[in-house]
Amino acid sequence: MDYNKLQKQIQIEFPHLAKHGFTPLPSDWDYENILVDGEWVFRFPKNKLAAAALVRENNFLPEIIPTLPVSLPFPSWFPPESNTWDKQFQGSPLQLGDICTLKDFKRIIGSELRISFTEQLAGFLSALHSFSVPQARMYNIPEKHGKVFWRKFYDSIKTKILAFMDPQTGLKFKNIFTEYLKGADSREDVLALIHGDLDIDKMMISDNRLTSITNFRYMSLSDPALDFAYFYLIDKKFTVELIQKYESRERDELLRRVWKFFIFIIPIKKILHGIENDNPNLRDEGLSELKKMLR
């Protein structure tokens, strides 16, 4: 990525910024990131879908931020909407704390801080998932739920993914979706506003407390079970405790949907991203994770 080009875009749109310079930050799957003046994080999309997600964030995050118990990056700088996706970008305040690492996470949940951290995360998820669905629809938040959606999702990815699987793993992969779609777990009535890509590197921590949740690129109206899936893959007991503190009358059903179906979506997304972005290392990493889970 040409960081000079990105810097120029910022200087053209917001010439009063960048008094103290630019610092490239690590990129992620969908965005190139730059720290401006030591206080603003600017995100530049790598593709059209990521650009559309930025526009949704600009419009919608200000609506949900006041309803949540932790901080979110407030979209503060963005150019007028453009028909050209690579002209879209967004600047928001640098969030308090540091990106949570796996080492940080295991240290926190392995200590006396476990209870308070679990309560914080459960409080965030409870508040996010209880946000008004009709209000979210007004902002064109994508809907990804129910048998129709997951059947179409499977039909759209099976050819791409099966080409990289041995027959035995491929059969087990098919069975994940077959069993989910024919069972009672693919609930049409379970619908909530979810983060959609929640894992530890979307969490900011300071003094061992959760201070912020970032990157709402995959925010959607879907089954809230997906927001618990990554944590289940790291620590099952922690996830059980998290769901126990989560505000829901159907905790057992929620946990069952997590381990029966949604944990498999995590490596599947990684495989797809690797295939679609010509990243064989990421693709093979996802395939290895999925194969191990299917044993």
Count of domains observed in the chain: 2
Do both 104 and 83 map to the same domain? no
Which has more pLDDT, 4 or 141? 141
Task: For residue 71, tell me if it sits in a domain.
Answer: yes
Q: Torsions phi, psi of 227, nearest 5?
A: -75, -10
Sequence-separated contacts (24+) of 99-107 with Cβ below 8 Å: 99/201, 99/203, 99/204, 100/200, 100/201, 100/203, 100/204, 100/205, 101/200, 101/201, 102/200, 102/234, 104/200, 104/205, 105/200, 105/234, 106/234, 106/235
The whole-model pTM stands at: 0.92
d(CA 196, CA 217): 8
- Contact predicate 190/145, CB 8 Å: yes
Task: For residue 146, tell me if it sits in a domain.
Answer: yes
User: Which band of pLDDT confidence, cut at 50, 70 and 90, is reported for residue 35?
Assistant: very high
CATH number of 26's domain: 3.30.200.20
CATH number of 205's domain: 3.90.1200.10
Q: Torsions phi, psi of 222, nearest 5?
A: -160, -170
Do both 248 and 116 map to the same domain? yes
Do both 121 and 43 map to the same domain? no
pLDDT score of 204 more than 70:
yes
pLDDT score of 80 more than 90:
no
Task: For residue 188, tell me if it sits in a domain.
Answer: yes
- How many Å is the Cα radius of gyration of the chain? 20
Do both 115 and 214 map to the same domain? yes
pLDDT score of 1 more than 70:
no
User: Which band of pLDDT confidence, cut at 50, 70 and 90, is reported for residue 184?
Assistant: low
Last residue of some domain: 93, 127, 143?
93
Which has more pLDDT, 155 or 21? 155
d(CA 279, CA 257): 30
State the amino acid at position 16 in one-letter form: H
Do both 217 and 275 map to the same domain? yes
d(CA 52, CA 29): 15
Q: Is 217 helix (H, G, I), strand (E, B) or coil?
A: coil
d(CA 137, CA 131): 11
Last residue of some domain: 93, 115, 150?
93
Mean pLDDT of 167-191: 85
pLDDT score of 186 more than 90:
no
Do both 233 and 113 map to the same domain? yes
Tokens linked to 188: 């049409």
pLDDT score of 3 more than 90:
no
Taking only the tens place, the pLDDT of each residue in 217-265 is: 999 999 999 999 999 999 999 999 999 999 887 899 999 999 999 999 9
Task: For residue 51, tell me if it sits in a domain.
Answer: yes
Q: Please give the angle made by the CA atoms of 15, 216 and 237, to the nearest 5 degrees.
A: 140
Last residue of some domain: 70, 93, 116?
93
Do both 196 and 161 map to the same domain? yes
Do both 56 and 180 map to the same domain? no
- Contact predicate 113/210, CB 8 Å: no
Q: What is the average pLDDT score of the chain?
A: 92
How is 224-244 classified by DSSP, letter by letter? TTHHHHHHHHH-HHHHHHHHH
How is 53-77 classified by DSSP, letter by letter? HHHHHHHHHHHHGGGSSSB-----B
> Which residues constitute the domain of residue 274?
98-293
- Contact predicate 3/54, CB 8 Å: no
pLDDT score of 135 more than 70:
yes
Q: Between the ranges 32-41, 115-124, 180-189, where is the mean pLDDT highest?
A: 115-124
Do both 111 and 221 map to the same domain? yes
Could you give the maximum distance between any two Cα atoms of the chain, in Å?
59
Task: For residue 212, tell me if it sits in a domain.
Answer: yes
Do both 179 and 226 map to the same domain? yes
pLDDT score of 83 more than 90:
no
In 3D, which of 56, 55, 18 has the Cα closest to residue 38? 18
Do both 61 and 143 map to the same domain? no
Task: For residue 4, tell me if it sits in a domain.
Answer: no
Task: For residue 1, tell me if it sits in a domain.
Answer: no
Do both 83 and 107 map to the same domain? no
% of the chain beyond a pLDDT of 70: 98
Task: For residue 216, tell me if it sits in a domain.
Answer: yes
